[in-house]
Structure 1
């Protein structure tokens, strides 16, 4: 606990005036304003959630006995169809349970989930005025992000957010561009063994809580591109886990991810920090591609599968059916019908996310040099071809 509080203090101090690796000088007034709002809200939320997590030990102590059986981890290169695949799989509600955004932010504990379930039922009895107000507020806050990453509080979301309280969530790098958080992107390689054990212990408790609330008989479904560098650590912590790794043409995946992070970075700082994020993410994504394929190749037969975005987007139903065959599963008739509907919907989908290599300063030659082995292995045309 002392080490964690010390880490919080270090990030708090560094968040006000990050050096962005020497690419920017001085202090952004916008950052000071955002930090003045961010830290009180963040600490208050963690305090409330922490109280709920402690109450679980008093009110629901049996959650610690829940067995986590054969969890499925959807990992991969960011912007490579992980969200699409996650929501396809989450449609099999008889088999899977997964995390919604509201649970991750406002109710990581069993205690909080029962509390909010009770509030929801009371609200429904009087015509759901709170639900309608909440939905309007949700669209006002999150609607602007739909072209980049469509999400809502009730939608399936990445459960690495559950590691926010223990500083194991890479998303914090937007608030604090700090080497300690960047190290999470090379976790299997760079994190000390004790740090890996600490994060996996916290994550296992979170999964146990989720299964206790939603049903121990169900399979836990996780989607986290940020867990790609944790694949070996996760395989050790959950020896019977399955993995689906998602991959996409670097010409699309790399600028798309840089665009997403640049948008987030500007919200926190207000200045043009694209150079900093571009350099960091080019190195990070090269590691992601390599580590993903190395780890999938090293898994026992029937434990891992590769999802290529271009194939998944063209034939989602058949792609998911192939993953089921790999893992020895049989889709139910209801889920098969759901996949057929997704096939029809995917045929008419057009992304609203727009970006270009030139606007983001991603040199096509450098992209080809960094990811040339990916282009060659998967037959992707190189930039400019």
Structure 2
């Protein structure tokens, strides 16, 4: 099983140097004890997968679908609507990404059966309560929970290729998992091979003939690597007014850093790196798909998805060459009015950040013209 020792050493060195930060000891315990132990644990079960599930040797990943786009641009809503076509798609639930090996998931499924049949769902009820306490307060911002489909870049946590450490430690300016094409060819290939191995395991679990469905804002920078690894992949790119999603993302991540005890001067370099990534999230998918015109893809305006979700999803299916069943079409019809009311209750202010509305509009002028987004204070 792959593990990125290069990033591990960088994160460890950064945490070690933060001698005045109150959370230092807790993070060092994770890095020096928990990470090695869990890595050995996952690696052992990763190996056992090939013994217990020989179908894994021959499993293919055929025509996967990737939903990308800037964070807060509607990727979650699009992913949830597509995931409802459960007879077609396979995807990761959030809890499944804590256990990347197929054998691990099977053991947990057996324990869940034991809990239901012998203990009257005591463990399940406890986990449901924990889920509500942990994620309930944030669901008005981002719908998240153990049993909810989630962005599957988190499965890379086992390889220490994860955005989670950049939320605990403001080091986006030092550890960059967005610009995968800037890695050496060997590391880039290792990242994608590990991701593909995890997807294969999920397909063996959920149905070998299903289509893998992924949603990842981070993978807006991975489109080239995705198409090199999965040449028959389809890409769905969500687009939204940058003045709505850039400050929203900056605020959300800033809250994470502040909750860990970091001050503005601590996370400012990382926040500047995140701002640069924000622009790349808009530009890179478009640029990469422009040089691969044969790739099935669809750019989706967030306004269209919330105004006419049924018609928008039907257009996505048509663009990427999928047929819609009557059952799924009926689901979309029933969701139509509900999704029209979709909105975020997250408050933010662009004036809180170094980047200005005029700078955003100037940098992304061609997109403002193409999508006719309102100009600041028009």
Contact kept, 8 Å, 1:71 with 1:221, in 2: the verdict is: yes
Q: Per-residue deviation at 1:352?
A: 1.7
1:9 aligns with: 9
Give the secondary structure class of the aligned counterpart of 2:158: coil
The structure 2 residue matched to 1:248, chosen from 223, 237, 240, is 240
Q: Establish whether residue 305 from structure 1 lines up as the match of residue 301 from structure 2.
A: no
1:181 aligns with: 175
Q: Establish whether residue 375 from structure 1 lines up as the match of residue 368 from structure 2.
A: yes
Contact kept, 8 Å, 1:170 with 1:181, in 2: the verdict is: no
> Structure 1: any 5+ residue segments left out of the alignment?
19-26
The structure 2 residue matched to 1:235, chosen from 195, 213, 227, is 227
Q: Per-residue deviation at 1:96?
A: 0.4
Contact kept, 8 Å, 1:31 with 1:270, in 2: the verdict is: no
Instruction: State the TM-score, normalized to the length of structure 2.
Output: 0.92
Q: Per-residue deviation at 1:8?
A: 2.0
Contact kept, 8 Å, 1:64 with 1:208, in 2: the verdict is: no
Q: Distance in 1 between matches of 2:2 and 2:334?
A: 52
Bigger drift between 54-63 and 85-94 goes to 54-63
Q: Per-residue deviation at 1:28?
A: 4.2
The structure 1 residue matched to 2:357, chosen from 351, 364, 372, is 364
1:22 aligns with: none
The structure 1 residue matched to 2:210, chosen from 218, 230, 234, is 218
* 1:134-170 Cα shifts (integer Å, max 9, x gaps): 1001111222322322201111011111112223223
The structure 2 residue matched to 1:290, chosen from 283, 286, 289, is 283
Contact kept, 8 Å, 2:306 with 2:341, in 1: the verdict is: no
The structure 1 residue matched to 2:344, chosen from 339, 351, 362, is 351
2:164 aligns with: 171
Q: How do 1:311-330 and structure 2 match up within 5 A?
A: 311-330=304-323
> Structure 2: any 5+ residue segments left out of the alignment?
none
* 1:275-323 Cα shifts (integer Å, max 9, x gaps): 3344212211112211111123333446111111111111111110001
Cα gap change, 1:63 to 1:206, in 2 (>3 Å): same
Instruction: State the TM-score, normalized to the length of structure 1.
Output: 0.90
Contact kept, 8 Å, 2:140 with 2:345, in 1: the verdict is: yes
Aligned length: 374
1:81 aligns with: 74
Give the secondary structure class of the aligned counterpart of 2:314: helix
Give RMSD over aligned pairs. Answer: 2.2
Q: Per-residue deviation at 1:43?
A: 4.1
Q: Per-residue deviation at 1:219?
A: 0.5
Contact kept, 8 Å, 2:172 with 2:270, in 1: the verdict is: no
Q: Per-residue deviation at 1:175?
A: 3.2
Q: Per-residue deviation at 1:334?
A: 1.5
Q: How do 1:326-337 and structure 2 match up within 5 A?
A: 326-337=319-330
Q: Distance in 2 between matches of 1:300 and 1:212?
A: 31
1:148 aligns with: 141
The structure 1 residue matched to 2:93, chosen from 57, 76, 100, is 100
* 1:6-47 Cα shifts (integer Å, max 9, x gaps): 5423321212436xxxxxxxx543332541454344444333
1:338 aligns with: 331
Q: Per-residue deviation at 1:274?
A: 5.7
Give the secondary structure class of the aligned counterpart of 2:352: coil
Q: Distance in 1 between matches of 2:167 and 2:355?
A: 20
Cα gap change, 1:59 to 1:306, in 2 (>3 Å): same
* 1:117-148 Cα shifts (integer Å, max 9, x gaps): 11111111132111011100111122232232
Q: Per-residue deviation at 1:249?
A: 0.4
2:103 aligns with: 111
Q: Distance in 1 between matches of 2:3 and 2:134?
A: 34
Q: Distance in 1 between matches of 2:342 and 2:192?
A: 37
Q: Distance in 2 between matches of 1:224 and 1:2?
A: 21
Bigger drift between 136-145 and 239-248 goes to 136-145
Contact kept, 8 Å, 2:94 with 2:145, in 1: the verdict is: yes
1:197 aligns with: 189
